[in-house]
Amino acid sequence: MVQAAFVKVAEVGELSPGHMKAVEVGEDQVLLANVGGTIYACSNACTHAFAPLSEGDLYGELVECPSHGSVFDVTTGEVIDAPAQENLPVFEVRIDGRDILVGPATT
């Protein structure tokens, strides 16, 4: 069985609750979001117009795209409000000591 590669992208202290950060994992642009002390990772590109979600606003677990106002749940990647119609890919996150590690997309 092949183990999926996890990559260190940040440290826990860099991302306080309610904040987001854009990182790269290979060729993927990934959005890290701290929701109530839990780190989630999803695509940083809106599925409607490919705008960087890290430049939008985070309200709890919901991120609003800065371009056209699409809203996504960062914990599941689900579209909550249009104009986007396609869910975001989400990535597996592990915490190793102080390191935030991101693995391959799970959806």
Where are the strands (E) in the chain, listed by range? 7-11, 20-25, 28-35, 38-43, 57-59, 62-64, 71-73, 79-81, 90-96, 99-105
pLDDT in tens, the chain (107 residues): 445 689 999 999 999 999 999 999 988 999 999 999 999 999 999 999 999 999 999 999 999 999 999 999 999 999 999 999 999 999 999 999 999 999 988 87
pLDDT for the residue 2: 45
